[in-house]
Chains A and B, each alone.
Chain A
Amino acid sequence: MKILIADDSRVMRQIVVRTLRQAGFGDHELIEAANGREAFDMVNSESPDLVLSDWNMPEMNGIECLRQLRAAGNDVKFGFVTSESTPEMKDQADAAGALFFIVKPFSAERFDEVFAPILG
């Protein structure tokens, strides 16, 4: 599977990659985007199977990226890895079609719990 990690923090992208490996998902192809706009473009150009996106990013935030993907008819599996988690944000994410909501700081156990059913 190809997994796209979108976060404006390069360090956080590295931590997401490391945590995926720790959780046993290191064999998948991992690609990265530095903001929502780049993620949107890469979903179209790279056709990932799964997107792990930060919420708060410059250029285009994560929820806007998801909404634009869905508006364009793209149903890639998409979820959030973010430091923010309010009920209103979770509602917005659900309404837009997000599969999961992981809150920073996160653990390898949390990744396993969320991604095992998706990545197998």
Chain B
Amino acid sequence: MSVEVEVNENDLAEMVEQVWESYLDPEGVNPLIPTYDENQPSEVHSSVSITGSWTGHIVYASSTLAARRAAAAFLAMEPDEVSEEDLSDVLGELANIVGGNVKAMLPPGALLSLPQVVLAPEATARFPNTSRISGVYGVWDGEPVSISMWQSRGDNHNKEGAE
């Protein structure tokens, strides 16, 4: 049975801030500026799923340019040098880092999946029987970036074998 999630928006924002401090904005000059717009557009996204004591997904979504800049920052290279493989790798790692940190705040018995990367907007993703429970939405150097948590509905657990 999935528990009530104990990770709130402030926790998520703190994790995101750590990622920016460590990798995307180590000099503290280009933070993610909150927009609070959960419907902001994206062009690419990545996700990890968590199953067990809490069941759901963590989704990182951004514009392609923001993903390219993220990969460039991770790899210490120029954005136009970033390959599609680098871009996918970095997107997956971003979901993995946030997902791993979310998992660390959950009760014991949660399993983290390997990341899935889709070079298409988050709006093309479908996570059955889930609802978005939290998110950090912002712009990074003018480009949209969001990190959101999607929780599987508890009643999903009571329908084994049912339609």
Contacts and interface: CB of A to CB of B under 8 A. Distances in A.
Nearest to A61: B114
B92 to A, nearest CB: 7
B93 interface: yes
B108 A86 contact: yes
Contacts, number: 64
B74 A107 contact: no
Given A84-B103, A84-B104, A86-B103, 16 more contacts: A9-B93, A10-B85, A11-B75, A11-B86, A18-B76, A56-B112, A83-B96, A83-B99, A83-B101, A83-B112, A84-B100, A103-B101, A103-B104, A104-B96, A104-B100, A105-B97
Contacts of A68: none
Contacts of B90: 11
Please give me the 10 A-B residue pairs with the lowest Cβ-Cβ distance, nearest first: A83-B100, A105-B22, A84-B100, A11-B89, A83-B97, A9-B93, A104-B97, A88-B108, A85-B104, A83-B96
Contact of A14 (B19, B75, B100, B112): B75
The residue among B71, B89, B100, B108 with the most chain A CB atoms within 10 A of its own CB is B100
Nearest to B19: A105
Interface of B: 18-19, 21-23, 71, 74-76, 85-86, 89-90, 92-93, 96-101, 103-104, 106, 108-110, 112, 114
Given A10-B89, A86-B103, A105-B22, A15 B74 contact: yes
Contacts of A85: 100, 104
A90 to B, nearest CB: 10
A8 interface: yes
